[in-house]
Amino acid sequence: MSEARLEILTRINRATAAGERPHLERPPIPVSTRPRAEIVAQFAEYAADYRAEVHRVAQDELPAFLTDLFSGQNVLVPEGFPARLFPQPTSRKPQATHADLAAFDAVLTTCAVAIAETGTLVLDHGPGQGRRALTLIPDRHICVVRSAQVVESVPQAVAALQAAVEAGQPLTWISGPSATSDIELSRVEGVHGPRRLEIVLVD
C-alpha cells in the first residue's frame, strides 16, 4: 500500500514540477432544446420521486401561500430572503446557535439552482439561503424555487454555480429529505438533516 501511494505521489510531483497545470479539454455544455415548461415539469416529477413535497404556486399567490403554510409555526428565515414574500421579521435569527435552530419548526430558504434530470436543489448559501447549519438542523426545510432557476442538466448547473465556486462559497446539493438505509436496509428519514423537504415551485 505504501509503495502504491509513493508511486502516485511521485507521479503527481513530476507532473506539477514545472508549475504548469495540465490542459484539459472539456466538451461544450449542450444547450437544451426542450420547452422550458417540460424541463420544469421534469424537475417537479423527479423531486417528488425523491419524496420531496412539491407545490406549484403562481408568483402573485406566493405570499399568501407561505403565510398559510406556516400558520402558527416558528419559522426561521435567513438573512436576504425577500421580506415581501414572507413578512415575519421576528423569525429572522441569522446567528442562531445549534440549540436555537433545533427549536424551530421549519426553515424557509431560496436556492441557487435546481436540476431537472436529477430533481436536485443546490444552495450556494448566498442571500436568502443562510449558512449550512440552517438547512441541516430544523426538521422541515421549505425551499422557494423560481421556474427560471431550473436547468436541465448537471453540467448546466455546474456552469451556473461557477461564480459561487470561484468566490469560495460552500455548495449544498439536496435530493429529497435526509434519509439513510444503513441499518438493515430499512429507510429512515431525518438522520442527517431535515425529515421533510418541501419545494415551492413558483411559475
Global pTM value: 0.79
Instruction: Please report the pLDDT score of residue 164 as a whole number.
Output: 94
- Residue 39, C-alpha cell as written in the block: 424541463
pLDDT at 117 over 80: yes
State percent of the chain over pLDDT 70: 82
CATH superfamily of 34-202: NagB/RpiA/CoA transferase-like (3.40.50.10420)
- What whole-number distance in Å separates Cα of residue 66 and Cα of residue 154? 29
Q: Distance between alpha carbon 139 and the CA centroid of its chain, in Å? A: 16
pLDDT at 147 over 70: yes
pLDDT tens digits, 42-84: 999 999 998 999 999 999 999 999 988 888 888 888 888 888 8
Enumerate the domain spans of the chain. 34-202
Find out whether 69 and 125 touch, Cβ atoms under 8 Å: no
Count the Cβ atoms, other than its own, within 10 Å of residue 130: 26
- What whole-number distance in Å separates Cα of residue 136 and Cα of residue 140? 9
pLDDT: is 15 or 6 the higher one? 6
